[in-house]
Amino acid sequence: MATIFRDWTEGHSKGWGVEPLKISHNLHEHPLFSKEGLGELIQSYPIEHYSLIRTSSVGETKKVWRRGEVGDLTGHEVIEKIAAGGLWLQLRELKSVDRRYDDLLQEIYAEARERVPGFDSFGHEMGILISSPHAKAHYHADLPGQALWQIAGSKRVYLYPAEEPYLPQPELEKIALTGLEVGLRYEPEFDRQALVFDLKPGEMLTWELNAPHRVENHGELSISMTTEHWTDEIRRSQMLTVANGILRQHFGIVPKRRALHGPAFWAKASLQAGWRRSPWFKRERRKMLPVDFRLGRGANNPIVDIPAYVVR
Ligand SMILES: [Fe+2]
């Protein structure tokens, strides 16, 4: 078997999806993640599937958060601009944009399935994040199963327990209802319970469902890849969270039960299915940030203002 994971152990099979695991892989040597491969991908990436975000760089006190387009720069030039600071580029839904990445994604999960007894996943997604030195991802929790694969540069990942007070249930419900990662409160004292991992090229990290985390790049350009998946158990947990959120927010009921099976589960499953068809659901989905700059070749200011427009 050609393997993507390296040095797999019995402990990895047991801990997969249940506890934080750092595992070696070889995707940083894969042609699809080489500078040439990524450069080619960036150049032709459709704007509705990427977010290029200008943020405050280190030492910049003014808060900046703008969305832009890569313009006519080559993929290699885009990566160079990001390396210079204050930018990140997220390529989303790779599997629908480029078939070769979808094939690789299927390969990854086929291998995981072979290695982890009973791990039957679906709804796979792959994304790439290219981010500036010292860039940060704020404290948040994700809904599907997650893995973070480091390709180039290094970053520090802080992982927190998926329980009170790190992850209050009403906050998780809000994320599930709106798709927005809002309202997850971070306290510096949480760090006493954090597990801290430094991720280097050729290392990947997985963690238990919904575990809050935040990420800090070290002082170099970082290229990482994320994979997402669902399992039957994750889908049930998600349906329950949405249903509990509806009960709490719209009916003032404090939900207690977390049963993933039986009549209580199915009552909640139908409640959240109705919600998904209702007009409230669409209204609460993410509002897109308008695009108002493109990348330019200028050395001192790579940001060129353009008339703002909303993608789709
Ligand atoms: Fe995340």
C-alpha closest to that of 134 among 150, 155, 151? 155
Find how far residue 176's CA is from the centre of its chain.
15
Q: Tell me the CA–centroid distance for residue 148 and ligand 1, in Å.
A: 8
Choose the weakest-confidence range: 61-65, 68-72, 101-105.
Answer: 61-65
Region 61-65 average pLDDT: 81
- Write out pLDDT tens, residues 156-181: 999 999 999 999 988 888 888 877 66
- Write the single-letter amino acid at 228: E
- Write the single-letter amino acid at 271: L
C-alpha closest to that of 54 among 34, 75, 70? 70
- 56 pLDDT more than 90: no
Distance CA 95, CA 225 (A): 13
Q: Tell me the CA–centroid distance for residue 108 and ligand 1, in Å.
A: 19
HEC assignment per residue over 65-88? EEEEECCCCCHHHHHHHHHCCCEE
C-alpha closest to that of 139 among 34, 55, 50, 212? 212
Q: Tell me the CA–centroid distance for residue 153 and ligand 1, in Å.
A: 18
Q: Tell me the CA–centroid distance for residue 143 and ligand 1, in Å.
A: 9
Domains of the chain with CATH codes: 5-230 (2.60.120.650), 232-281 (no CATH)
Region 96-115 average pLDDT: 96
Q: Tell me the CA–centroid distance for residue 167 and ligand 1, in Å.
A: 14
- Write out pLDDT tens, residues 223-255: 999 999 999 999 988 888 888 888 888 777 777
Choose the weakest-confidence range: 27-36, 83-92, 232-241, 245-254.
Answer: 245-254
Q: Tell me the CA–centroid distance for residue 151 and ligand 1, in Å.
A: 16
**Is the backbone of residue 202 left (phi > 0), alpha (psi -120 to 50) or beta?**
left
- 286 pLDDT more than 50: no
The pLDDT of residue 182 is 57
- Write out pLDDT tens, residues 256-265: 767 676 777 7
Q: Tell me the CA–centroid distance for residue 60 and ligand 1, in Å.
A: 25
Determine the longest span between alpha carbons in the chain, in angstroms: 63
Q: Tell me the CA–centroid distance for residue 191 and ligand 1, in Å.
A: 17
